[in-house]
Each structure stands twice: as C-alpha cells, then as structure tokens.
Amino acid sequence: MRKIIIDTDTGSDDAVAILMAMFSEEIEVCAITTVSGNCHLEQATKNCLQTLEIANTYYPPVYKGSHKPLFRDLFTAKGVHGEDGMGDQSLIHPTIKHHDGHAVDKILELIKKYPYEIEIITLGPLTNIAKAILLDKDTMSQVKQIYSMGTSGLGPGNCTPVSEFNVYVDAESYKVLLESGIPMTIIGFDICLGDSALQRKEIDLLMESENKTAHFAIQCNQRLYQYNLENTGQEFIDLPDPIAMGVLLWPEIVEKELKTHAKVMTNQDETYGQVIFYGDKRLVLANQYQSLDKNVSLVTKINHALFKTKLINILKNSQKNST
C-alpha cells in the first residue's frame, strides 16, 4: 500500500482533499503535517483535526509545523476562505488533539523508516518541506515523489497577475524544493478552474445526499463560493487541492503532462512567486533552454468529468466506509 504524508495549511479545499485521502483504500496516510498559509498554524491544525473527525475512518498523527515563511511575514487567504479558513460557518470544534513533535522532524523520521516509499502531497506553502531539505537533504532525497498543488501552471496567477498563492506565500521555500532533485509533480491553478470546478447542480447534488461528509465538504466552502460569486458573477466552487489529491489517487484522470525545467522568481516584487516553465519548443530562444534539467512534471490537462465523478462518489458514499 502506498505511504503518504499530507502537508497542509488546512483551508476549505484542503479539507476536501483530506477527506478524499481518508476514504481511499489505495493509500495509507502516515502523517499529516500543518503549516501556516490559508490561515495561521493553530487554526490550520484545528481545521485538520476537525476534518479527520468528520471522516471518522482512522486517525493518522497530526503534527504542527512552521508558523511563518522562511524569510517573509505571513500572508493568509482569509478573504477567500474566511477568518477560520473554513468559511466561518462555526464548523470547527475538534475533540481530538495533535501529536507532540515538530512536523519537520516527523517528516524526516518517516522517510528514514520508509526510504524511497514515502510520497508527500503539499497543499499549502512549502515551508515545512524546505526546512526538512535544508536540515537533512540526504534523507529527503529518499522521498519517492512530491505532489505539489502550486504555481499558476501555464495560466495567470490567482494571488498576483503572475503568481499563485501557495508559492507567493513562501517562494524561497519553493525554490529550495525545485533545486533539490526530488521527483516532483506540479498541479497548477490553471487546470483547477472552468470544467474542473463544482457547478451549482453538483453542489446541490452533494447537499441533497443526506451525507454528513458531503454536507461538510460544501459547508466549509461557502465563503469560497461567495467569493467566486462576488468576483465573477458565477456560482461555482473551485477545488485546487482536491484536484492535486485526485492526481495522486487516480492517475487515470491525468491526460497530459509536461516534463520540463521550472524556476521560481524570488527577487523583484512584481514577479515574486512566479514560476517559469521552460518547456515550450516554440520559443525563439528555445535552444538556450534545452540543456536545463527537467526537474518537474507539470500536469497540463485532466479529465474533468472523471475527476468530478470520482470526487462526488467518494463523498456521497463516505459513510459506508466510516467506523
């Protein structure tokens, strides 16, 4: 069985991704590590614990990690996900507790225990992962694969015109990972919109299912739904982190990938957090980039319908698998 670590800044879409993992029979979640991003570390940890209680399957240890980026002040997404990161719906009242120990130490311990077996999926800023690499690069080189929900892919940013939130919060940490040599799959924000998002009829379908897990998945995303309605005039819930989890769980949803060199900008304010992919052969100077190592695999297209069918099924049928 595949062994997974989830690193998360548990906002509302992270919660849905965690639910997907907890109901999957194909993986074992060995640990969940939390980081500041969508909300502050303490809140992200509470949100994670509450999500595990809602799933009510098994309880992997939850470890708190970094409370701020490597060098910058923390920037949160409370305008998108609410003050509590979960839509401010008074949903967060966990009774279980996080485990003692720091996330970075526990990540390294698990990799040493299971060399070349651990896969890590990062749903927030990369601060914990960067610290682990900086602390013990040899051990981190034994990670089997990292799946990163981050970057704007081949499209525009959602935080600045060119940068995506998870990278923008701590681009220096993203740089550490890109330069580490660890096998890495990137799921960019560009493939998480449009047909990938839950539309009104799909939202209603989950709410009408009389399944508490499905209800929770929609309720915690109410602020995100309102944010999208206010800013676009359209009714939808985009789910970047569940799509990243879907790529990990269901490789068959991936239709196109680009193996390429990726570089993150960390200097100029206007481009801070932008990730450049050097994979387009149409570039006038393409020959200059051919010698660059292909350090990432960028998912550029998924089967939207298959992803949403699998997502809705796993949420609607989740109580059948709960303890």
How many other CB atoms sit within 10 Å of the CB of residue 78?
A: 17
Amino acid identity at 285: L
pLDDT on residue 317: 84
Question: What Rg value do the Cα atoms of the chain yield, rounded?
Answer: 18
Q: What are the distances in angstroms from CA 228 to CA 130, 193, 218, 314?
A: 32, 11, 14, 25
Helices (H) and strands (E) in the chain, counts: 14, 12
pLDDT on residue 290: 72
pLDDT on residue 268: 84
* Token pair in block for residue 217: 């998945």
Q: Give the separation between CA 212 and CA 239, rounded to whole angstroms.
A: 19
pTM above 0.75, yes or no: yes
Residues 6+ apart with CB under 8 A from 305: 195
How many other CB atoms sit within 10 Å of the CB of residue 307?
A: 22
| Cross-sheet strand order for the sheet of 118-122 | 62-64, 27-34, 2-8, 118-122, 145-149, 184-187, 296-302, 254-260
Helices (H), the chain: 12-23, 41-55, 78-81, 103-113, 127-135, 137-140, 165-169, 171-178, 200-207, 212-219, 222-232, 240-249, 286-289, 304-316
Give bridge partners of residue 257 from the DSSP assignment: 299
pLDDT on residue 145: 98
Residue 122, burial from CB neighbour count under 10 angstroms (0-12, 13-18, 19+): buried
Per-residue pLDDT of 159-181, as tens digits, reads 999 999 999 999 999 999 999 99
Q: Which residue reads 């060995």 in tokens?
A: 30
Q: Find, among 307, 23, 51, 82, the residue nearest to 193 by Cα.
A: 307
Residues 6+ apart with CB under 8 A from 287: none
67 DSSP 8-state letter:
S
pLDDT on residue 320: 54
Residue pair 322/212 in contact (Cβ under 8 Å)? The answer is: no
Per-residue pLDDT of the chain (323 residues; tens, 9 = 90+): 999 999 999 999 999 999 999 999 999 999 999 999 999 999 999 999 999 999 999 999 999 999 999 999 998 998 899 999 999 999 999 999 999 999 999 999 999 999 999 999 999 999 999 999 999 999 999 999 999 999 999 999 999 999 999 999 999 999 999 999 999 999 999 999 999 999 999 999 999 988 999 999 999 999 999 999 999 999 999 999 999 999 999 999 999 999 999 999 999 889 999 999 987 665 555 566 677 899 999 999 999 999 999 999 999 887 654 54
All domains in the chain, ordered by first residue: 2-321 (3.90.245.10)
